[in-house]
Amino acid sequence: MVPLFGWFTHSGGTKYIDCYVTHPTTNRGPVMIKSILLKIFREGVGGLMAFVSFLTRPRKIKRSPDEQFAANEKARTMSVYQYFACPFCIKTRRAIHRLNIPLEYRDAQVRGGEHRTTLEREGGQIKVPCLRIEDGEKTSWLYESNEIIAYLNQQFDPTMKAS
């Protein structure tokens, strides 16, 4: 039977929707369709938030060339595991933008992808954002957007360090 919504999905999704058409009693198809629609909705809203956030980005803090060099060097020891359209990641990226530091972003969204696998294996769970911090031989993994932002502010914003 021709899949009803075959035009709507990529190759993997078509199989699931076809499954509903050919096996309506299993009730498997509607669940798949619902999850696909939810995913599209989530990605759409997240993408819109990312776009608005990009347009309204906070001003970067300014440093002397020497201070900026030192901040850049320190930032080299950190990376952020994230999803593009996750609201908690957007919030964290805004804070990082304000701090004016070149942190490396690692996309952990792709299932089976290198960064997702590393996050789960070494960090302990798949949850984003997560800040990976290298300190000599030791590597630590910081979860929770508020914790990450507080840590980065404390490391890179001189006005917050003083308080």
Could you tell me the smallest distance in angstroms from the CB atom of residue 77 to ligand GSH?
Answer: 21
92 within 8 A of 82, measured Cβ to Cβ: yes
Could you tell me the smallest distance in angstroms from the CB atom of residue 65 to ligand GSH?
Answer: 33
User: Using CB under 6 A, which residues numbered 1 to 30 contact ligand GSH?
Assistant: none
* Percentages of the chain per state (helix, strand, coil), in multiples of 5: 60, 15, 30
Amino acid identity, residue 106? R
In this chain, which of 105, 127, 142, 151 binds ligand GSH, going by CB under 6 A? 127
Nearer to ligand GSH among residue 9 and residue 92 (C-beta):
92
Tokens standing for residue 25: 């009693």
Rounded CA gap, 162 and 67, in Å? 16
* Region binding ligand GSH by CB under 6 A among candidate stretches 13-21, 53-61, 67-75, 80-88: 80-88
Could you tell me the smallest distance in angstroms from the CB atom of residue 137 to ligand GSH?
Answer: 27
Size of the site for ligand GSH (CB under 6 A): 10
Non-local (6+) Cβ contacts of 32 within 8 A are 13, 16, 17, 19, 20
Could you tell me the smallest distance in angstroms from the CB atom of residue 73 to ligand GSH?
Answer: 27
Nearer to ligand GSH among residue 43 and residue 144 (C-beta):
144
Alpha helices in 11-112 (DSSP H): 11-22, 28-55, 65-75, 87-99
Does position 126 interact with ligand GSH (CB under 6 A)? The reply is yes
Rounded CA gap, 130 and 148, in Å? 8
In this chain, which of 80, 103, 123, 145 binds ligand GSH, going by CB under 6 A? 145
